[in-house]
Structure formats: C-alpha cells, structure tokens
Amino acid sequence: MDILEGIYTRRSVREFTGEGVTRDEALEMVKAGSWAPSGLNNQPWRFVIVRDPEVKSGLARLTSYGRILEEASVAIAVFLDRSSMYHEAKDHQAIGACLQNMLLAAHAMGLGAVWLGEILKNAPAVIGLLGAPENLELMAVIAVGRPKRAERVSNRKRPEELIVKEL
C-alpha cells in the first residue's frame, strides 16, 4: 500500500473478528514504531505486548472502551521511559510519531487498530497489572485485531481552517 494512500485510508478500527494477530505482526508494529524520529534520537518509547486473555481482560476493566480490548487479539501498551527523557513536550511528540507509525504499519498489514488514550486515567493500575518498571510512564494502549468490517467514515477540517498563513 502506498504511503499517502495508507495515511488517507487508515481509520480507528474498534470491531474485530476472532482471528488472531501473529507475534511477528505485533513485532513489526513495534519495529515500525521504533523507526519514528525522536529528539537527539533518544528513542524514549518502550512496549509491553499483551496477548494473555486474562491480562487483556484486566486491561479492559480499566477503560470505558473495554469491549474493544476484549475483542482485540493483542494489546500493545506504549510507555515513555522517563530515564531517557530530555524535554517533556518533545518526548510526548516523539511518542505520538511512534504511535502513528504503529497504526500505519497495522493498516499496511491489513490489521485494524485503535489508539486508546482514555485508559491513562487508570495509568497506575495499568502499570501495576503489567508489572512495568517504575521508570515507565503509560502513554497509550493500542488494541489490534483483524477488522470486522471496513470502517471508512471520518472527517477532517479543511486546509483553509488549518493553514493560518502562507508567507
């Protein structure tokens, strides 16, 4: 799939078939994420891959979007390694670039994925459940599965609303 086509056709996928996501596919998403740019190339992203149904259900109970995680084959928790940080806003941006690469990679492989941010409200419980080290700060959880149907409806502001000036 062409890059621009991929960027324009990627959607948040929230309904999955029962079919599984392979370990190699999850690792490809992580690899794609890791090739995002970061300030000073500090690569502050860290990952926990969750396939175990009990742990995944535990995660599901920590978000209002639990059904999505229950249906998903794999959850990938993305963390910021605070010991690698150099600038909070720039590190958060780098994590966002990493997440976008992961979502695009999933789309490229025919998988569906959605970036779950609301679960951050329960970040300490997520970290406890996953047994993540203390230097890691939860940034997002990505739910991944095989898309149940093509979800193609989304919308964006027009360029005239977004481009403030051309100089």
Contact between 167 and a second copy per CB under 8 A: yes
**C-alpha distances out from residue 130 to 2, 143, 157, Å:** 36, 15, 38
List binders of a second copy among 25-44 (CB under 8 A). Answer: 27-28, 30-32, 34-37, 39, 41, 43
**CB nearer to a second copy: pick between 68 and 103:** 103
Please, what is the minimum distance in Å from the beta carbon of residue 34 to a second copy? Answer: 5
**Cα-Cα end-to-end distance for the chain:** 34
Contact between 125 and a second copy per CB under 8 A: no
**C-alpha distances out from residue 48 to 29, 77, 81, 90, 153, Å:** 12, 5, 12, 22, 30
Locate 159 and state its tokens: 């360029």
d(CA 64, CA 46): 24
**CB nearer to a second copy: pick between 30 and 62:** 30
Contact between 55 and a second copy per CB under 8 A: yes
d(CA 147, CA 150): 7
**CB nearer to a second copy: pick between 36 and 146:** 36
Taking CB under 8 A as the criterion, the residue among 13, 50, 68, 141 binding a second copy is 50
Locate 81 and state its tokens: 């390694």
Query: Residues near 36 by Cβ (< 8 Å), separated by ≥ 6?
Result: 45, 94, 97, 98, 100, 101
List binders of a second copy among 87-116 (CB under 8 A). Answer: 87, 89-90, 92-101, 103-105, 107-108, 115
Number of residues that bind a second copy (CB under 8 A): 71
List binders of a second copy among 3-22 (CB under 8 A). Answer: 3-4, 6-8, 10, 12
